[in-house]
A and B are shown apart, each in its own frame.
Chain A
């Protein structure tokens, strides 16, 4: 089981200054909705932006059953 705080910590660790919102959509710790606004996304494609988040989550990814992701540059 993964906590929303752990997800937030990993993303903020990889993208300092990012604005991160994490919702545990079922309360079971394996379905999440994540919104990230980060200056690092500027000039990147959506694929690249999402890959940055997947990389930040790293070892958490196999534990997360469903992840809905929205990313944007400020």
Chain B
């Protein structure tokens, strides 16, 4: 578990915007992951996607990484942004795009 957590910590640090999801952006395997990716695509920032179904060791590890029990999870600038509901709510408030763009440009 420790090694996996180290891998995740490195990924989150090295990728300005990263989403841990079920499936891929082209073929999401869960409605929440699909909705989250749709928001990221709408904002248009480049992002990395990690498919926890293809990397099952990360499926539980990502939950303890942020003490967050659900997937998808979005990180920007090394910080946890939220799951699907929070991402959608921040987007509805107009707060998500500036947050992600600031992280992407850093």
Q: Which residues of A are at the interface with B, using a C-beta cutoff of 8 A? A: 46-47, 50-51, 54, 61, 66-70
Partner of A46, one of B31, B32, B69, B90: B90
A35 to chain B, nearest CB (A): 11
Min CB distance A54 to B, Å, is 5
Interface positions of B (Cβ within 8 A of A): 31-32, 67-70, 80, 82-86, 89-90
Closest chain B CB from A28 CB (angstroms):
15
Residue pair B31, A61 in contact (C-beta under 8 Å): no
Q: What is the predominant secondary structure among interface residues of chain A facing chain B? A: helix
Of all chain B residues, which has the CB nearest A67?
B70
Which residues of B have CB within 8 Å of A46? Answer: 82, 86, 89-90
* Bound Cα distance A43, B32 (Å): 27
Closest residue of chain B to A46 (Cβ to Cβ) is B86
Residue of B with least CB distance to A69: B85
- Which of A50, A51, A61 contacts B85, CB < 8 Å? A50
Measured between beta carbons, the chain B residues less than 8 angstroms from A47 are 68, 80, 82, 86
Q: Output the residue of A50, A51, A61, A66 with the most chain B CB within 10 A.
A: A50
